[in-house]
Structure 1
């Protein structure tokens, strides 16, 4: 008996009918999740337990050093805390960060949705129309300016619009060798010029090759010089022109040079020379940033940290930097901006991991928390927050001020008279402004 040939058409019709029946039994799942799915980015993940997709947010940072893992930990915890959004954390090389960001923003290819931006970069990017104001996003997320340290909020508010939510503030601080202080019989950390001058005299032991304060001729003068100028009543920018050749500025450079001439500091200190001597226990005091903490900890130094003393005659002031969150102009997806707001709201009260990197947080709820207060180093850094100052809010300031560092080096090395060096710096800066 012959077998009948297999009927493929019949099988196709049966499978199709079965699929229709199963679809009808599914209970209309799209109606439950359609609102969440409709605005998600392509390539997003399936949300855990929701049956929907997570809106993805591409987040760039320049934290390519030891600080990167601390921010990654915050991102990972946020991603695990909810199933609506996924923040994709990408670290770009610090030295190339703004070059890569410029390319991404200009081409709109693989452009980030959220970026870390140094506060003094904000005016330039706003002037180029590459950032969006965050006022509406912050309001929708329950984020208030009042919940952050005032200085970076004020600086990043331009023409009445807010462009950057601050993460931290990193001012210049004073590190000191506790063992050398004890040996010299100094029990109080200096807070003014008179106390500082007296301390470095006692701390200097030429026979032992120990110096009270080693004057750096290069970095971190970018933080030290502005601090001293402001403390002495001078300015870097007078509102229309560079002003760092003033008598107030020259006096502070001469003060630094005076420590070299008197032997409190060695002469001709090369790049990082002051730090090398500090690590060797031969430099009693160093002005530097909070980013040095991990290096000193790893070296096992018995050190302390305190605000920079008021060396100048006019006021207490200190130069600082700040990391903040900014949003590029091409971010228009409402689900993405809502996710960014949700993430930033989370960070505002869940950023202790960032404090563990050595940074002093800009969020007031974090600053006032018992967990932050228990961090002796970071709490000491935060003491300077009420009087921190940032670079002048001038477009392309980094390019304008660049000549100062070479001329300051000339003055500190004794190659040029102080006033002549600062006058030369001003002329070069004016050329850069043309």
Structure 2
């Protein structure tokens, strides 16, 4: 049966090309990342006699840009990048084509990664990389990372006279602070047994959320400099890390190149456990390759994605761009297990919640960040601030 499928596919791909006309597959990669798959695209071109045109574009804008091209009746890419929290939005805009070979291929990927792109029994993404918050530590300030939040706090107490902190984070940012919510079982939108999110069941003001935010408040108010709050906080955190004024920070994979180019002698570790030993549970997200609904080369696109996501190719891509593919065979390799960065990411994903994939997630960020800021900066009672934040989220959902 498998041989019949391969033969049929091969014939279909051959029919796309003739001596006078050859199919061109247009692929959008992330900004400055096209080179990570160019080698494999060249091999694909030779194998199937087609052309692969890879373009560098900021993946944060792929969904917007594809939707814009479709609305103006212009040519779209065959393949673009889709982050898991944009699945619902992309589906509602009609941007995605189902990827049929993922019915067989999905088992190659960790279950949580593939499931985020499954809608009503069909897959709409091929997982490319997984990301979650981790701890970056400056080995010249803190030779080894700690396993618990109290240990980082103890470091702060011991070095307070020197003006050096143990661990800091953008505590008033909901994305960065969700690990405290998720630790005790709070959630943004409740998931059912099929993994679908219920926009009308919000768990950000329940007892579990109150417990997590109480720990966050104590940490933020007593053990983190107030300069991390507000818009200026981002730069202040980076400056403190680069200058050795903090031993460790919480950040994501997107900052890896920045810290490496700054010459910091850094290491990477999972997030610390809270004072009672409970692991923090931040969001995790998955970046996938998606096939555009307007593509005239869908089968070719599917085969291309299967081709470039072979384990050995995905491993080479990881070494080039440091974005970890959630492929089971790859994660089981000794070189990945012994890689501090890959090990930290894969370990953290085991203790992380998937970021909701429904469009209503867009209405959560601002109200919850306002709530966190009012709690940490202004001393607003936690329960009242969270209740108000959730009320605003519900209002926004109702209005839209």
Q: What is the TM-score when the length of structure 2 is the normalising length? A: 0.83
Counterpart of 1:106 in structure 2 is 71
- In the alignment of these two chains, the number of paired residues is 371
Match of 1:229 among 157, 161, 181: 181
Structure 2 residue runs of 5 or longer lacking an equivalent are 1-10, 191-197
Structure 1 residues 150 and 35: alpha-carbon distance in aligned structure 2, compared to 1, 3 A threshold: closer
Deviation (angstroms), 1:165: 1.0
| TM superposition shift of 1:305 | 0.9
Q: What does 1:418-429 correspond to in 2, within 5 Å? A: 418-429=382-393
Structure with the larger RCO, 1 or 2 (CA within 8 Å, 6+ apart)? 2
Q: Is the 8 A contact 1:175 1:288 kept in 2?
A: yes
- Separation of aligned partners in 2, 1:94 and 1:116: 6
SS of aligned partner of 1:287: strand
List gaps (5 residues or longer) in structure 1: 1-33, 41-45
Aligned equivalents of 1:323, 1:173: Cα separation in 2? 17
The alpha-carbon distance between structure 1 residues 260 and 309, as it changes in their structure 2 partners (threshold 3 A), is closer
- SS of 2:217's partner is helix
- Per the TM alignment, residue 257 of structure 1 is displaced from its structure 2 partner at its CA by 2.6
- Residue deviations 1:67-112, cap 9 Å, x none? 5244353555445553522221122345543321211233341111
* Corresponding residue for residue 168 of structure 2: 214
TM-score (norm 1): 0.77
Structure-2 separation of matches of 1:318 and 1:368? 23
Q: 1:322 to 1:85 in 2, by over 3 A?
A: same
RMSD of aligned C-alpha atoms? 2.7
Deviation (angstroms), 1:315 = 5.8
Larger Rg: 1
- For residue 190 of structure 1, what is the aligned residue in structure 2? 146
Matches within 5 A, 1:14-93: 39-40=16-17, 51=19, 53-61=21-29, 63-64=30-31, 67-74=32-39, 76-79=41-44, 81-93=46-58
Matches within 5 A, 1:310-329: 310-311=273-274, 317-329=281-293
Structure 2 counterpart of 1:14:
none
Rounded Cα–Cα distance in structure 2 between residues aligned with 1:35 and 1:320: 37
- Matched residues in 1 for 2:108 and 2:59: separation? 28
Report matched runs for 1:35-434 at 5 Å.
39-40=16-17, 51=19, 53-61=21-29, 63-64=30-31, 67-74=32-39, 76-79=41-44, 81-94=46-59, 96-135=61-100, 137-138=101-102, 144-182=105-143, 189-191=145-147, 195-204=148-157, 205-218=159-172, 221-238=173-190, 239=198, 240-262=200-222, 264-269=223-228, 270-272=232-234, 273-311=236-274, 317-331=281-295, 333=296, 336-349=297-310, 350-356=313-319, 357-370=321-334, 372-373=336-337, 375-414=339-378, 416-434=380-398
Q: CA offsets per residue over residues 230-253 of structure 1, 9 Å max, x none?
A: 111211123423221223223333
Aligned equivalents of 2:13, 2:66: Cα separation in 1:
30
* Residues 1:131 and 1:36: Cα distance change in structure 2 (over 3 Å): closer
